[in-house]
Amino acid sequence: PRIRAVVTTGGRGLGRDIIDRLPGLEIVACSAVGTEKLDLAACRARGIAVTNTPDVLTDDVADMAMALLLMARRRLVEGDAHVRSGAWAREGMFPLTPTLTGKRLGILGLGRIGQAIAARAEAFRMEIGYVARAPRDVPYARLPDAEALAGWADALVVATPGGAGTRGLVSAPVIRALGPGGTLVNISRGSVVDEPAMIEALASGALGAAGLDVFAAEPAPDPALLALPNVALSPHHGSGTVETRDAMARMVVDNLVAHFNGAPLISPVA
């Protein structure tokens, strides 16, 4: 009964089981932009305020998307091993890879992070297409759905929120549409991609390569995925820089201070 505030992370969230045991709870401050593991309905029903940490992590997450895109498409993980193992001297030149410059980038979800990815992709002279619930005031092609976007694109970046609304959105047909020359990047949530279908496609060559910061199972992703050579893996670290984690922590504290001072919250979740 003495607890009035909870600080949590995106990965941990806060379920109804705990919320129900905190009768004095007034605010939940989440150190993440994604709040799908937080029971927002339970908070709303009790009038509990919820805050997250948007904006401050946008650039780092967009950087991670571009890094994974280059890593996967240019096969940097295998290239690194080619040098370290001595294969370069023993076996010779590393195989040629597809280029990125001038190719089509499909962005699934054109929110703050999706738009920051698009800005970076423009510098790579990529043609940009997107899928979003509502049209955006941007000079990019808007495709009707994920499958159409994947069919159009050379590389697809998943930048939607997680949660029930986007579960399995990158389905087996979407992955097939991206094709053997295609590169899939996910900096959103593992739940958005049909991971077994993706693994099968990567193993059979039906999908060219993938760059993944997020997984269906974290922190121990499917071993079948870890065994594939054509994936670049990152430990859910899109926002994992010193500067951004400092800014996120600051935002958590500023929201709590605002709440207990009776001031407007910095970043309330609607």
Which amino acid belongs to residue 162?
A: G
- Our CB check for ligand GLV shows the closer of 12 and 125 to be 12
Show the beta-strand stretches assigned E in the chain: 5-9, 27-31, 49-51, 104-108, 127-131, 141-142, 155-158, 183-186, 209-212, 231-233
Task: Pick one of 5, 10, 59, 129: the residue that binds ligand GLV (CB under 6 A).
Answer: 10
Q: By the 8 A CB rule, do 136 and 110 touch?
A: yes
Shortest distance, CB of residue 57 to ligand GLV, whole angstroms? 6
With binding defined as CB under 6 A, does residue 51 bind ligand GLV?
A: no
Least distance between ligand GLV and beta carbon 239 (Å): 5
The residue (of 183 and 244) whose beta carbon lies closer to ligand GLV is 244
- Would you give the DSSP letter of residue 233? E
Question: Is 33 a binder of ligand GLV (CB under 6 A)?
Answer: yes
Give the total of residues touching ligand GLV (CB under 6 A): 6
* φ/ψ of residue 163, rounded to 5: 95, 180
Q: How many residues does the chain have?
A: 270
For the record, the structure tokens of 226 come out as 């870890």
**Cβ atoms 48, 70 nearer than 8 A:** no
14 binds ligand GLV (CB under 6 A): no
Q: Three-state secondary structure along 87-142? A: HHHHHCCCCCCCCCCCCEEEEECCCHHHHHHHHHHHHCCCEEEEECCCCCCCCCEE
Minimum CB–partner distance for residue 233 and ligand GLV (Å): 15
Q: Mapping DSSP to helix (H, G, I), strand (E, B) and coil, where does residue 224 land?
A: helix
Could you give the string, one character per residue 55-94, with x where binding to ligand GLV holds by CB under 6 A and - elsewhere? --x-------------------------------------
- Encoded one letter per residue, x for contact with ligand GLV by CB under 6 A and - for no contact, window 209-248 reads ------------------------------x---------
Instruction: Judge residue 176's burial from the number of C-beta atoms within 10 Å of its C-beta, 0-12 exposed, 13-18 middle, 19 or more buried.
Output: middle
**Binding range to ligand GLV, per CB under 6 A, among 31-39, 92-100, 127-135, 178-186:** 31-39
Residue whose CB is less far from ligand GLV, 10 or 221: 10
**Which one of residues 29, 32, 126, 256 is an interface residue with ligand GLV (CB under 6 A)?**
32
| 7 backbone dihedrals φ, ψ, rounded to 5° | -105, 130
Catalytic residues: 189, 218, 236
Joined tokens for residue 20: 């129900």
Mention every residue, 6+ apart, whose C-beta is less than 8 A from residue 106. Answer: 129, 130, 131, 143, 149, 150, 152, 153, 155, 156, 157
Closest residue by beta carbon to ligand GLV: 34
Q: What does the per-residue mask of binding to ligand GLV show for 165-204, with x meaning CB under 6 A?
A: ----------------------------------------
- Find the part of the chain contacting ligand GLV (CB under 6 A) among 32-40, 118-126, 136-144, 194-202: 32-40
For ligand GLV, the binding residues in 118-157 under the rule CB under 6 A are none
Residues making contact with ligand GLV (CB under 6 A)? 10, 32-34, 57, 239
